[in-house]
């Protein structure tokens, strides 16, 4: 049996905007810097995959820190 040890560079990680996750129990570790309060979506670009649950939402602050949406004039139709 071969033991595989993976070394991770947490101080200077690779900067990527997409990740390929291996099938059959695969996983990945992500580290992200967030400075914009709100909700961030992490998703697969295949619609059928989103239906299967390959979609996540990150909440990047406490609810009281959320920015409010300004009042907009509504069109009278």
Contacting residues for 57 by C-beta, under 8 A, at least 6 apart: 39, 40, 41, 42
For the chain, give every domain's residue range.
Answer: 37-77
Residue 55 pairs with which residues in a beta bridge? 43
Q: 25-77: per-residue pLDDT in tens? A: 888 777 777 787 788 887 777 777 777 777 888 888 887 877 777 777 666 66
Residue 40 pairs with which residues in a beta bridge? 58
37 in Cβ contact with 63 (< 8 Å): no
Cα 29 from chain centroid?
A: 11
Single pTM value for the model: 0.49
Q: What is the pLDDT of residue 57?
A: 83
């Amino acid at each position: 049996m071969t033991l595989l040890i993976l070394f991770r560079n947490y101080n200077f990680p690779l900067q990527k905007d997409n990740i390929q996750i291996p099938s059959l129990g695969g996983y990945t570790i992500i580290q992200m810097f967030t400075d914009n309060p709100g909700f961030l979506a992490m998703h697969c670009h295949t619609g059928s995959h989103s239906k299967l649950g390959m979609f996540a939402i990150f909440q990047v602050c406490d609810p009281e820190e959320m920015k409010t949406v300004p009042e907009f004039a509504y069109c009278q139709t």
